[in-house]
A and B are shown apart, each in its own frame.
Chain A
Amino acid sequence: MPERDVGRVVGYALGTGLFALLVYYVAAVVRGPEVEYISWNPVHAAVLTVLGLAAGAAWGSRRALEGWRTVEVVLVANLALVFGLLFLGWAVVWDLAKPLNAILPGLRDAVYGFWFIAAVLGAYIVRKPGAAIATETLAAAAEFLAGGEWGLTLLLSGLVQGGMAELVFALTGYRRFDLPTLMAAGAAAGVGSLVVDYLFWYSDKAPWVLGLMLVFRILSGAILGGWLAKVIGDALHRAGALGAFAIAQEE
């Protein structure tokens, strides 16, 4: 694994994340009295920081994609297509889960995590910088092209969810792909997903509702995104389908 690629992903991500936070801090706090319409809001600070982290991870992993083998590119595109269609179908589950919110607002988000599985599974199989973000973004593109309910916002969702998962793998130097890492990547994608959804849909919600949604998305991302990706990846590995990929060189 070229150390430069790892450094680029982590460096860009942390750089842009902290830069976004700093700009918001300056605008809201340092220049507070003059700019009366922008006031410090911890939710907005978190939203901007996470967006910065994901955007930086996406930009930082661009160069690494050039070093991929053809077979990895085609595999990721195919995985993305299959999961893009499954994501489209998952919208039905999401609609069916609507009554859960009557029990506890945000409980419905417990089924959200399946939408991150492409990012985790792609990275688990290919194990190269950019795998998580490429798989998730392409899956989102496939879902959009197949007529996904959320239209073009899917592309941003895919990019941010993939970017957050990518960051977790980058922080381990793309060396650890055990269950805790995969679950952490799924959970991070969950944080990213709520940030995008906050921008588009939920900025009107009460803070305690947003907090509950965040908790359920993290749990759901860890289980349906992280754990399930390991189950599927291992099953495919056992079936002997992954001989050409890094996952097979584990032992």
Chain B
Amino acid sequence: MFTYLETASPLHRLNPSMKLLAMSVVALGATFTFDPFIPAMLALALWLTAWLLGRVPLRQMLRWSLPLVSLPIPLMIFTALYTDLSRYPQPHILWQWGPWTLAVEGLWTALGLGLRVTTFLATSLLFIATTDPTDFAMSLAQNLKVPYRFAYGLLVALRFLPLLRREFDIIRMAHRIRGVEEERGMRGWLRRTRRYAVPLLASAIRKSERTALAMDAKAFGAYPDRTYYREMPLRGRDVLFVVAWAGYTALVYALALSLDLARLEWVPQAFFPGLGKAAFLSTIQKIASLMAVLG
């Protein structure tokens, strides 16, 4: 879906591990609330940052915005229909049929959850579009102290990706030349998958063996530490990037609290007495009265 764009931008020059950390902070920030306001503000900022600071072309950003909006829809439908309404003293029910109940509370929660998915997707978009996979693997080993044999293993696997596609084509041609027909329909799809899966995996495994042998022959992994061709230093701007996102997330929370738009579920409410459900209920009340005026 999202792919790395090989351009130069301030985001491209950041340390990948710190970028990942900053994105984790934002993603974590989106998980503490069931209200749409906070995730909407976070997703908007991510979108703008990827576009302006990441130099992703606007056309590409618009194309990638489609999954940002459409992928959360199934979760939203599920949430809207199965919210635990027994938690609310007087749910505002809009529609009821059999086991399904649609209430304002459920819809509002669904919108919040949907925007949470959008925020997660936007963090992926920003990270993937502006991070060279090789830099990322090197940074994992150098900055996050992932055992370097695994970081390199990941890199080897990423390099195999285009080969895998070619291998798939070869297997398909080999089948065709032997007169195996491409079947249609659900059953045909299932049989095809079975026919391709084992040769494809087997060839990936054989390639792993040969590569590992070559790596061993060059004494890869012989020492606990190693030196790197690409150094991934931590600079002031990397720290600034993390601090800026943490600060923005805190700011959004402060704004949401002052606007009564933060229904905090996971922060121990002992620290913030009077927050949470009361604010949520008053929001629902406002929406319901607005709907009554409109309807």
Instruction: Give the distance to chain A from B131, nearest Cβ to Cβ, in Å.
Output: 9
Determine whether the beta carbon of A66 is less than 8 Å from that of B1: no
Contacts of B77 in A (CB 8 A): 98
A172 at interface by CB-CB < 8 Å: no
For the complex, what is the distance from the CA of A175 to the CA of B58, rounded to whole Å? 55
Q: Which of B3, B121, B128, B266 contacts A149 (CB 8 A)?
A: B121
B153 at interface by CB-CB < 8 Å: yes
A155: nearest chain-B partner, CB-CB: B24
Contacts of A36 in B (CB 8 A): 270
A68: nearest chain-B partner, CB-CB: B149
B34: nearest chain-A partner, CB-CB: A204
Q: Which of A6-14, A49-57, A70-78, A183-191 contacts B (4 or more CB under 8 A)?
A: A70-78
Total interface residues in chain B, CB < 8 Å: 70
Contact A145-B133, Cβ < 8 Å, known A66-B147, A98-B77, A151-B121 = yes
A134 at interface by CB-CB < 8 Å: yes
Q: Which of B120, B198, B206 contacts A232 (CB 8 A)?
A: B198
Determine whether the beta carbon of A152 is less than 8 Å from that of B24: yes
Determine whether the beta carbon of B212 is less than 8 Å from that of A152: no
0/1 string, A104-140, CB within 8 A of B gives 1: 0100000000000000000000000000001000100
Q: How many A-B residue pairs have CB under 8 A?
A: 161
B150: nearest chain-A partner, CB-CB: A73
Q: Which of B34, B136, B154 contacts A138 (CB 8 A)?
A: B154
Determine whether the beta carbon of B221 is less than 8 Å from that of A70: yes
Contacts of B117 in A (CB 8 A): 149-151
Instruction: Give the distance to chain B from A193, nearest Cβ to Cβ, in Å.
Output: 15
Contacts of A159 in B (CB 8 A): none
Determine whether the beta carbon of B270 is less than 8 Å from that of A75: no
A interface: dominant SS = helix
A144 at interface by CB-CB < 8 Å: yes
A171 at interface by CB-CB < 8 Å: no
Q: Which of A71, A77, A94, A244 contacts B157 (CB 8 A)?
A: A77
0/1 string, A37-81, CB within 8 A of B gives 1: 110000000000000000000000000011011110111111111
Contacts of A65 in B (CB 8 A): 147, 150
Determine whether the beta carbon of A150 is less than 8 Å from that of B34: no
Q: Which of A37, A152, A232, A242 contacts B23 (CB 8 A)?
A: A152
A235 at interface by CB-CB < 8 Å: yes
Q: Which of B1, B200, B266, B268 contacts A147 (CB 8 A)?
A: B1
Q: Which of A68, A150, A205 contacts B82 (CB 8 A)?
A: A205
Determine whether the beta carbon of B206 is less than 8 Å from that of A241: yes
Contact A77-B121, Cβ < 8 Å, known A98-B78, A101-B78, A151-B27 = no
A246 at interface by CB-CB < 8 Å: no
Contact surface of A with B, Cβ cutoff 8 Å: 35-38, 65-66, 68-71, 73-82, 94-95, 98, 101, 105, 134, 138, 141-142, 144-153, 199-201, 203-207, 209, 232, 235-236, 239, 241-242, 244
19 cross-chain CB contacts under 8 A: A69-B212, A71-B208, A71-B209, A74-B209, A75-B208, A77-B156, A78-B160, A78-B208, A81-B164, A105-B99, A138-B150, A145-B128, A147-B1, A147-B128, A149-B121, A152-B23, A199-B266, A204-B84, A232-B197
